[in-house]
Amino acid sequence: MIIKAKNVIIKIENGKIAQVGNDLLKGALNVYDVSQYTIIPGIIDMHCHLREPGFEYKEDINSGIESALNGGIVGICPMANTNPVNDNIFILNKMIEKADKKIGFFPICAVTNSLYGDTLTDLKKLKENGAIAFSDDGKPILNKELFKNALKSGELIISHCEDETNEVKWQLEMLNEVGGKLHFAHISKKESVDLIREAKRNGIKVTCETAPHYFTFNKDDLNKDLFKNGVYKMNPPLGTKEDMEAIINGLLDGTIDVIATDHAPHSKDEKLKDYNHSPNGIVGFETAIGAVLSRFSSDLLVEKMALNPAKILNLKDFNDLKIGSYANLTIIDENKIWKVDEEKFKSKCKVSPFNGIEFKGKAVGTIINGKLNMIKCCEDK
Ligand code: DOR
Ligand code: ZN
């Protein structure tokens, strides 16, 4: 199959990119013309929650994958805070089986058994069975000795920090001391951005991510409509306007490597409670690309949501739009003006703080292992 896009023409054979160029069309059969759109390396969301097993009423693996694909995402990394927790190969294998190769599926297993924070899981065995990284996301790791041993495993440890400044600080010091691979999840505060910038300047090899809500909203967005405030509740919570600006600057100057959604669905009933009673977490698969493209360039989108995640997760040839690599790609319309309509989400969670926001830029298709799927477009303006 040959796909003709605005920026590139590619030939796909056996799920891989066989040729890239402008002279592929002569006499070619099976040409798919999407020349009004742009093909980019496939978007990988390296932080999400799919809720299966245990909380399928919020989301399940299938609805989560449908939601990701509808948002133009071709690779996802579900976190381990399911019930039972994804801390063993039985659950891990079951999840991979359920995903059924419909998307790049790279589970993140727990660092500690049951996410209790006191005993390391069998990182090596889990890695051999398909775990891409390890995290107790949802809970910070407070045991310093255990954290040190996790780093010493050499596996990628994704750290959820709650008291961001304090935890980021000691974990960076420990990384400097023992080495290893450390990535900070959902950075949202100015102090953390400053600490990580400083660490990188000092040569410490660390990476981090933020999420679209942290550069789109801040605390001032609360209170406008008291009853809707639960919709803005996530952990870590929205920061101040200064925090939001620091996140934007951190993305622009390279301190923040990745944008991940932290897609964390709950039922509508749960989310529509007031701020104190709504659970932490908002959905993000179907709004991420629009949120990024509305504020940043498509180059930044590619860097923070495709190339850097692949690099950090060591996913060689997965999505890089090069000859010989797998054809896992995203198709975007950079100029499409559209309005978020939560009712149209494929996620089971049809409530989002982005609802009603007008975005410029949208995912219009995905190519997964060479298979093209155009997205039925949401509400056109
Ligand atoms: O908002 C959040 N929701 N933050 C987390 O760290 C966990 C997540 C969840 O599982 O709902
Ligand atoms: Zn999370």
pLDDT at 375: 96
Rounded to the nearest angstrom, the distance between the alpha carbon of 37 and the centre of ligand 1 is 34
For residues 332 and 188, what is the distance between their CA atoms, to the nearest angstrom?
A: 27
Rounded (5°) CA angle 84-259-150: 50
* pLDDT above 70 (res 227): no
Nearest to 210 by CA among 110, 79, 309: 309
Over residues 150-181, the pLDDT tens digits come to: 999 999 999 999 889 899 999 999 999 999 99
Cα 142 from chain centroid (whole Å): 24
Mean per-residue pLDDT for 276-291?
97
49-318+336-351: CATH topology is TIM Barrel (3.20.20)
* pLDDT above 70 (res 367): yes
Q: Phi first, then psi: give them for residue 101, nearest 5 degrees.
A: 60, 20
Over residues 138-152, the pLDDT tens digits come to: 999 999 999 999 999
Ligand 1 first shell, C-beta below 6 A = 49, 81, 137-138, 160, 234-235, 264, 280-281
What are the CA-CA distances from residue 102 to residues 58, 61, 85, 344, 373 (Å)?
20, 10, 23, 21, 11
Rounded to the nearest angstrom, the distance between the alpha carbon of 98 and the centre of ligand 1 is 22
pLDDT at 226: 63
pLDDT at 379: 44
For residues 271 and 248, what is the distance between their CA atoms, to the nearest angstrom?
A: 27
Mean per-residue pLDDT for 275-292?
97
pLDDT at 216: 98
* pLDDT above 80 (res 12): yes
Mean per-residue pLDDT for 216-233?
85
pLDDT at 381: 43
Ligand 1 atom with minimal separation from the 137 CA: 6
* pLDDT above 50 (res 6): yes
* pLDDT above 90 (res 22): no
The domain locations on the chain are 49-318+336-351
371: left (phi over 0), alpha (psi -120 to 50) or beta: beta
pLDDT at 260: 98
Over residues 322-363, the pLDDT tens digits come to: 999 999 999 999 999 999 999 999 999 999 999 999 999 999
DSSP bridge partners of 48? 78, 263
DSSP bridge partners of 286? none
Rounded to the nearest angstrom, the distance between the alpha carbon of 153 and the centre of ligand 2 is 22
pLDDT at 150: 98
Given 136, 221, 262, 320, the catalytic residue: 262
pLDDT at 96: 98
The radius of gyration of the chain from alpha carbons, rounded to an integer in Å, stands at: 20
Ligand 1 binding pocket mutation candidate from 137, 213, 347 (most atoms within 8 A of CB): 137
Sheet holding 9-13, edge to edge: 16-20, 9-13, 2-5, 31-34
Active site residue 262: yes
Q: Phi first, then psi: give them for residue 365, nearest 5 degrees.
A: -170, 165
Instruction: Output the pTM of the full model.
Output: 0.97
* pLDDT above 70 (res 380): no
